[in-house]
Amino acid sequence: MSRKLEIDFDVADKITYLNLKDWRAYLKKELKQHKKGVWMHPEDVVMNMKYIDALDLIIKAYEPQY
């Protein structure tokens, strides 16, 4: 009989929340470097801005819990 690994919903939400915040911070860092002259593909610039906006909405859904 194999045991299934399970984690508490609160732990899973916290992990998700932290990963989303980390991803948003990375995207913002890339855009900041781009504004300072580091080359970035134009499509990536646009997509990073869209991802940041979307992440802001999703992260907001997790924030009240923490």
Residues 48-59 pLDDT 10s: 999 999 999 999
In which band, very low, low, confident or very high, does the pLDDT at 65 lie, cut at 50, 70 and 90? low
Q: 53 is written with which tokens? A: 């906006």
Question: Which pLDDT band holds residue 66 (cuts at 50, 70, 90)?
Answer: low
Tens of pLDDT along 24-63? Answer: 999 999 999 999 999 999 999 999 999 999 999 999 988 7
Which residues have CB under 8 Å from 16's CB, separation 6+? 62
* pLDDT(3) > 90: no
Q: How much is the pTM? A: 0.84
- In angstroms, what CA-CA distances link 53 with 9, 12, 17, 47, 58? 25, 23, 15, 10, 9
